[in-house]
Homo-oligomer: A and B are copies of this chain.
Amino acid sequence: MTTVGHLINGQLVTEGTRSQDVFNPATGEISKQLDLASTKTVEQAIAAAQAAYPAWRNTPPLKRARVMFRFKELLEQNADRICQLVGEEHGKISHDAMGELQRGIENVEYACGAPELLKGEHSKNVGPNIDSWSEFQPLGVVAGITPFNFPVMVPLWMFPMAIVCGNCFVLKPSERDPSSTLFIAQLLQEAGLPDGVMNVVNGDKEAVDALLHDDRVKAVSFVGSTPIAEYIYSMASANGKRCQALGGAKNHAIVMPDADIDNAVNQLLGAAFGSSGERCMALSVAVAVGDAAGDALVATMKEAMQKLKVGPGTDSSNDFGPVITRQHQEKVVAYINSAEQQGATIVVDGRNPEVAGHENGYFVGGTLIDNVTPEMTSYQEEIFGPVLQVVRVKSMQQAMDLIDAHEYGNGTCIFTRDGEAARYFSDNIQVGMVGINVPLPVPVAYHSFGGWKRSLFGDLHAYGPDAVRFYTKRKTVTQRWPSAGVREGAEFSMPTMK
């Protein structure tokens, strides 16, 4: 059985001390072993990054960008292989994996613009004959810790921008689906990156803590659940590192009475159930304003869900695949149970889906729950499964109050045709990423990704322009040249220096 190891200083290595099973969630079978890095191995990765840093920092940004140009080509050429690795360990359908990869590549494309993005600010004559400019210099060694749900995309949110800014990187991917992450790191190596600039360590809490406590690591980017995000953020901050830690979400869509219901349902279908709802931007709550909208929404959605197909990722006619683990499958079902017990209406029930030939896979079918109220457990917590809940309210203001009262503030959306409603919503809602008739308002790679409230800890958002600021520090130089007589000198008094 294959053992997945680490990429350190350009070499694939395994430590052989501790390991963990990697499962195929569509079959429930063990597919690989994951070597778990000890603190010592993590420190080797950091040391490799530290050693590679001086030369990489001094490499002109355009040359660094050209590695990213080649990396993009390699990602495109190896797209099928990458998606296959994602499918085997994460379970998502190939078209979904391809979508994930594509969004990841967009971050590489953005990184190709490094020479423009790294421009500093230059001021002539801040005083008489005094000039000043600000440069954005890299930090040194920086680290990323990434979740299972996007084993390709989320790492690509981080390391291309960090590296193109002149940093060296140590990545700790999810232990659930490590292979695709490791593979794209190898492609980056193949693209011409010097050894040691990019390193991958697989592991568990020991590896994470090693990163958090090592003084050579200057910054940490994290995506995962809110409790872990909070731990990472306070620990990294207390250790003097800069940190951005992205956590959980509960993304609401408001469906207004003037919305085109067919369009809204069409959009929500993918946003709620795509990737089994295991997305921090999954649209998991629909808030219908008025019972007319609510009734129409539920009826149309119920109808539409009849065509939803759950099954293994290898069959591209499926709409979504299994959830990530047996435990997670049970947790999702428990949330559905709790909603039922607390009085909600299970309109479409995905608790026991039949997936012929994959009886041991971790499948949950698309589930629609109506008459959900804010007190219910299933409303308050993030389910991270293919479950869409409908809350009914009497006005748009009520809908907005609901959203603002929730602890998370990642994404949200409104379905309306009215300019004023859309503007009021996007202006006032306490959520970082807002869609107007767009159910998954993931910012494009040239904007930045970040929630508000307890969905993100830190000042700066992920990828895009904010990533340039996160992965660099400002240095401001103020310069005055006193006369040395060289310029004004008459010929005879010139210093004879050569």
Contact = CB atoms under 8 A, between A and B. Distances in A.
A238 interface: yes
Contacts of A123: 61, 115, 118-120, 444, 446-447
A450 B135 CA distance: 12
Contacts of A461: 474
A204 interface: no
Given A447-B121, A486-B420, A491-B289, A62 B126 contact: yes
A477 B426 contact: yes
Interface string A120-134: 111111111111111
A396 B493 CA distance: 13
A142 B284 CA distance: 32
A375 interface: no
B494 A497 contact: no
Nearest to A432: B475
Interface stretch (A7-15, A31-39, A330-338, A462-470): A462-470
Contacts of A422: 419, 479, 481
Number of copies: 4
A379 interface: no
Interface stretch (A21-29, A258-266, A314-322): A258-266
A457 B240 CA distance: 7
Which one of A233, A261, A434 has the highest number of Cβ atoms from chain B below 10 Å of its Cβ? Answer: A434
Contacts of A420: 417, 481-484, 486-487
Contacts of A234: 234, 237-238
Contacts of A257: 486, 489, 491, 494-498
Interface in A48-79: 58-62, 65-66, 69, 72-73
A243 to B, nearest CB: 8
A115 to B, nearest CB: 4
A249 B38 CA distance: 37
Q: What are the 9 closest A-B residue pairs judged by CB atoms, nearest first?
A: A113-B113, A420-B481, A237-B237, A257-B494, A120-B122, A122-B122, A436-B479, A419-B481, A418-B486
B497 A424 contact: no
Given A257-B486, A479-B437, A432 B473 contact: yes
Contact of A434 (B416, B460, B476): B476
A109 interface: yes
Contact of A120 (B66, B124, B260, B427): B124
20 contacts: A61-B125, A116-B465, A120-B123, A124-B137, A126-B444, A242-B458, A257-B497, A292-B494, A397-B487, A416-B419, A417-B419, A418-B487, A421-B484, A422-B479, A436-B477, A438-B479, A444-B478, A448-B476, A459-B459, A495-B497
